[in-house]
Structure 1
Amino acid sequence: MSLPLGKVIAEYEPRHTELVHAISDVEYASEALTALYSKIAELQTQVQAAKARFKKASERVKKREKQAEDSEKSFKFSFLRRSNTTKGKEKQNAGTQIQTPAYLEAVQEESKERNRQTELEEALASAQNERATLQEKVKECDALKIKLDALYDLIFNGPTPGFPEEDQLEQQVSAAKAVYDRVHANFNTEKQAYANIYRAEKIIGECRYKLKDALQCASTVMFASGHSVQEKETACLESAHDLALQVMSIIQEARRLSPDIRPLENLSIIQEVPSRAESGSADDFYAKLKSASSEVSRARTQLSTERTNYAGRAAVTKSVVEGAEQTLAQYKDELRSLRKGIFENVAEKSRQQSPLRTNGMHGIQEDDEDHYIEAPPPSYDYEPSSTFVSTLSPSTLIIPNKFVRQLPTPYSDDTSSPVSSSSHIWPASPASPTASIRRIRPLPRPPGT
């Protein structure tokens, strides 16, 4: 028999509170990371622009410096022609420090652009470090949400009596997840098929280069025979044969993933490796090689077209997957928010419906062990009346014994009793009238007295 919803929620309330507080501490990271991505992109653009401005400023400084040096050389030449004295040499040394206003302005501009570039690079580095921190926070938040969803599934999974909106939203989440799983599996298939086509295209390109080398060797042998050239030709043809076999195997695997891929035409290099011994003449052998090379070139063109088409299909499928993922995330957020509200409301009502009960024997307030069991009716608890207790207050107790003194009752607050504690009461007779004292039957005398 399943437990009531309130009892289950009360059992998991501490864990729920812990997860909710932990999520609230890191939930800001997702939006902050999105904003930081935009900031980083903007800073990268600004850094590139600052580098370009600094490069122009540096070129301007070099240009002004060259102009200043040319002007200085012209000044030195005219000055040395006028004076060859020591004083003229001192002026010559002083002339080396001449700097034009245009040069100084260019240097200042370069320094300013350098400082601006440094500031932007530091800001970019700081933003990138902050990005790493926020990414860790986002991962932590996602992990906590997964744990919270698992807790909610443990409590609310299946029909929840009294909360039809939760059941409806739960079905929507299940449907959205089914759609996401289907399109994601389709995307993985398309991606794997694209990877196979891309790999086959690269291998068929290598096969084409091997056939080109074999054609070059065959043409060389036609004009100048050589054993080493024929060995290289044979090695190239065998390599081309092996590569063509790999291509056919990869394409067959890709077509099993996606039947829309067109099959390749039959390649003669796969059927047999061309041989000089089987050819009638060198011209026939060269023609076979050329025909095989043309077939491989056409196959490479076909694979290139297939790769381009599948790149577009993969992009479309990826966008569909992203849309399904966003829809699923939206439904999950709504379901999580709804379940959180239900959880907190039921927990609050459970606390209000389980007040502290009073122990009738000891007058101690204690929490009920199971607050889902109803308390007994109030008539079961005995509460003595204060008025009745006051009317039963006993009077002073007097024991008629000569060896025992009068004992006042501890319940009496009367300090002005007419009977002194130091006197002994000796009854004259059982019928002796005493108006103010209640007589009690005397104790029996001992035998022989």
Structure 2
Amino acid sequence: MDTTEAIVANATYHSRLLNTISSLEYVPAARKHQAEYIKDLEGQLAAGKKRVAALAEKTKKERKEHEDLRDSTARRLAAKLTGRREKWEEKESKEEREYVEALEREFNERESQSSIEKLREEGKTVMIDLTEKETLYESAKAELQVLYSRIFDGPTQEFPEDDRLEYDLDAALKRYSELQARLNAESRAAELLARAARCMESCSGYVQEALGFSRYDIWGGGSMADVMERNALSSARGSAAQAEMFVEQARSFSPAIRSIRRVHIAEGSLLGDVLFDNIFSDMAFHTKIKESAAEVLQANKRVRGSYQLFQLQPF
């Protein structure tokens, strides 16, 4: 059987192998990048574990100082009798605020760790799928090489340009691999930016909730309005931190993405709400929440703008 007859006889088999290889051409670069991504996430988790431990110790310390001061009836009475009640209340409010801030930092770090852990588990699932596909891809390539060797090894007078075409093919495959690796990274970055955008939308929603409760508080909503207001703001801070984390993850895939900068959400004092709650303090805090809403709006625009520009940029 000459070369032409061999080609015709194996045409269907050859076509099937090429289709398999073509559909899985992205896999080797994707799997390599996925392995690096998982390794990076594991490094972040290890570093985050240390941060959580340090923040937990800080929270424990602040809680003890806050509770010691809060429960010290003798010191409170002494401050009252010596005319230093106002200074005592300021100190008590300061201790409570520092404890709440420490608790929130620890909570946000744990939430960030939980998100990174979820990304790692998702990454491992993707890795299993890519590994299976790479096995199929390599098997098809090996079969194709055996087929080519069987047909083209030795002199092939009908195809004098065989060697040059093989060289061109190798160069094209190398360039394809480079472009595929970049496409995989850009796609992953786009996915993470989309997650960041959703987190900022949630953040904006929570801040609007806080504004609603704050208006209610101004008109006599009471302690329940204070609690709901603070809960909404706490959720907003958590969502903003999540958005920042997702953007930083996206930047690890595409450094061209700019950081959204930290979003500052108004913080109050639950103790202050009890000791100094009046319409003037409520209105002042309402103003702070409105300032936070404006900052969140700008951050939201930056994230959505980055996502849209990223999708439109030429590849």
TM-score w.r.t. length of structure 2: 0.50
Residues 199, 21 of structure 1: alpha-carbon distance in 2 compared, 3 angstrom cutoff: closer
Residues 301, 147 of structure 1: alpha-carbon distance in 2 compared, 3 angstrom cutoff: same
Provide the residue aligned with 1:330 in structure 2.
none
Q: Which 5+ residue runs of structure 1 have no aligned equivalent?
A: 1-8, 30-141, 318-449
Provide the residue aligned with 2:221 in structure 1.
225
Q: Deviations over 1:211-230 (max 9, x none)?
A: 11101101111111323322
- The reply to whether residue 182 of structure 1 matches residue 178 of structure 2 is yes
Provide the residue aligned with 1:20 in structure 2.
11
Structure with greater helix share of residues: 2
Q: Radius of gyration: which is bigger?
A: 1
Give the deviation of 1:15 after TM superposition: 9.0
Residues 227, 147 of structure 1: alpha-carbon distance in 2 compared, 3 angstrom cutoff: same
Provide the residue aligned with 1:268 in structure 2.
264
State the structure with bigger RCO (CA 8 A, min sep 6), 1 or 2: 2
Q: Which 5+ residue runs of structure 2 have no aligned equivalent?
A: 20-136
Residues 186, 21 of structure 1: alpha-carbon distance in 2 compared, 3 angstrom cutoff: closer
Provide the residue aligned with 1:373 in structure 2.
none
- The reply to whether residue 244 of structure 1 matches residue 240 of structure 2 is yes
Give the deviation of 1:160 after TM superposition: 7.4
**Partner SS state of residue 291, structure 1:** helix
Q: Percent identity?
A: 22
CA–CA distance in structure 1, aligned partners of residues 201 and 242 of structure 2 = 12
Give the deviation of 1:157 after TM superposition: 9.0
Q: Tell me the amino acid that sits aligned with residue 263 of structure 1.
A: S
**Partner SS state of residue 234, structure 1:** helix
How many residue pairs end up in the alignment?
Answer: 190
**Partner SS state of residue 268, structure 1:** coil
Q: Deviations over 1:372-406 (max 9, x none)?
A: xxxxxxxxxxxxxxxxxxxxxxxxxxxxxxxxxxx
Contact 1:16 1:148 in 2 (8 A): no
Q: Deviations over 1:286-333 (max 9, x none)?
A: 2221222111110110111111111112xx43xxxxxxxxxxxxxxxx
Task: Say which is worse superposed, 259-268 or 206-215, in terms of deviation.
Answer: 259-268
- The reply to whether residue 203 of structure 1 matches residue 194 of structure 2 is no
Residues 205, 160 of structure 1: alpha-carbon distance in 2 compared, 3 angstrom cutoff: farther
Q: Deviations over 1:5-59 (max 9, x none)?
A: xxxx99x9999775336568x9xx9xxxxxxxxxxxxxxxxxxxxxxxxxxxxxx
Residues 22, 248 of structure 1: alpha-carbon distance in 2 compared, 3 angstrom cutoff: closer
Contact 1:160 1:167 in 2 (8 A): no
Q: 1:191 aligns with which of 187, 190, 193?
A: 187
- Cα root mean square deviation, aligned: 4.1
Q: 1:168 aligns with which of 160, 164, 168?
A: 164
Residues 303, 156 of structure 1: alpha-carbon distance in 2 compared, 3 angstrom cutoff: farther
Provide the residue aligned with 2:292 in structure 1.
292
Q: Deviations over 1:268-302 (max 9, x none)?
A: 13xx7433546872233222212221111101101
Give the deviation of 1:159 after TM superposition: 9.8
